[in-house]
Amino acid sequence: MISYLKEEISSSTDIYWFKSSNKYVVVDKEFSKLLSLKLSDNDKFIKRINDSLNLSEKNYIEINTQMNEFISECINTSNNKILKTKKISKTTEIDVKYTFNNKTIKVNFDSEMTKGLINPKFLHLQSNEEHKISGELTVFSEDKVIYLFNKNTCIGGWTHENMHEFQGKFSMELTSFFYEKIEDDWMGVLHASAIEKNNDAIMLTGDSGSGKSSLTTILMTSGFNFVSDDFTPILSDNSCIYSFPSAISIKESFFNKVSSIFNDFEKLQSYYINEIKGWVKYLPPKFEYLGPFNCNKVIHVQYDLKGLNTLNKIEKKDAIKQFLPDAWIASKEKHAKKFIDWIINTEFYSLHYSNNEKAINLINKLK
């Protein structure tokens, strides 16, 4: 028996979650009726399509086969396996200490290379003051695999092709430590930036280069407070988001604008990421409050130099297709229920902008 959840997210759309794969699928109502019937009773499904469509045996067998293939894709797990190793096998003589939310964690590295994968975004969390260390992470590279340990427990190992997964897992370990949680406490993490005003947060999603980090920076000078950049954790108990202390990634094309707003930005070191992202600087954030923040508005951002400035509400099904591929949602049924409830209670928008001031005015109208 296939274990799944199904909920209506709009008058025309249902969402399914499949337990075995932790996959979400958004379908229209008509297809949903057939899918539910197929999942519960195959004989009734075949009778339904045969009676309603008056098909030949060949045609309804073909439809049944296509539905089987669709379900198979929904329930099959991905082949991405997290590698494991039993012990810390490298000497880790490099260490840094990060302090946030009155808690300090020590992070050990085996080389400047592995340190460089993490430290630039969290450099501002280091201090020369003495703090009680209550957590420890270790990062080392062996046989082209990056391993992450929490004290003596191996969290996992990732090849260089899956570096974003390693960095996401490292960020989750930091988040759980700083808020005294475990990973199971979090509903999920969205690849999104977030800002807040009066305890109401807005998430900004978008592809790399879409302008969401730049817009976050501009909004910080216009009455909004910073919450997170590119990594927004959602707690399961209250479906609220929390601040994440990584610096804001500023691309080279935006250096001049940020220099005119923030003192000493020019003094920050530049880092070359890759051919797509090019050179970036990391702007240290300032926090008015760490959370929790209610967040029931999500804006998909797209900067267009010559385009119009528009902010329009979009269908949940379209929004989910935009942000879900880059999101991490915890795999237990309790998390899936919380996530679907959050979607149902959240409004989604699409912002196209070419002018910062006009974009700010449009966003302010949502409050």
What's the predicted TM-score (pTM) here? Answer: 0.93
Q: Which residues of 309-323 are buried (b: 16+ CB within 10 A; e: fewer)?
A: bebeeeebbebbebb
Residues 157 and 202 in one domain: no
Of 23 and 52, which is predicted with more confidence? 23
Whether 330 and 224 share a structural domain: yes
Q: Which of 27, 45, 75 is a domain's end point?
A: 75
Beta-strand runs (E) in 264-304? 270-272, 279-283, 294-303
How many domains does the chain contain in total?
Answer: 3
Residues 98, 239: one domain?
no
Same domain, 206 and 294: yes
Read off the pLDDT of each residue in 151-179 and give the average, rounded to a whole number. 96
- Domain annotation covers residue 98: yes
Sequential DSSP letters for 109-152: ESSHHHHHHHHHHHGGG--SS---EEEEEEEEEETTEEEEEETT
Domain with 16 in it: 4-75
Residue 55 pLDDT > 80, yes or no?
A: no
Single out the residue in 157, 180, 203 at which a domain terminates. 180
Is the domain of 240 the same as that of 308? yes
Residues contacting residue 308 through CB under 8 Å, at least 6 positions apart: 352, 354
pLDDT, one tens digit per residue, over 124-145 is: 999 878 889 999 999 999 999 9
292 and 199 within one domain? yes
In a domain, 87, yes or no: no
pLDDT of residue 1: 86
How much is the mean pLDDT over the chain?
A: 94
Structure confidence by residue, pLDDT tens digits, 294-317? 999 999 999 988 889 999 999 999
* Position with higher pLDDT, 241 vs 213: 241
Check whether residue 176 and residue 199 sit in a common domain: no
- Tens digit of each residue's pLDDT (9 = 90 or more) over 234-272: 999 999 999 999 999 999 989 999 999 998 999 999 999
Q: Are residues 123 and 153 in the same domain?
A: yes
Does residue 59 share a domain with residue 104? no
pLDDT given for residue 47 in this prediction: 85
Provide the pLDDT for residue 367.
64
Over range 327-356, report the average pLDDT: 97
Instruction: Find out whether 151 and 73 touch, Cβ atoms under 8 Å.
Output: no
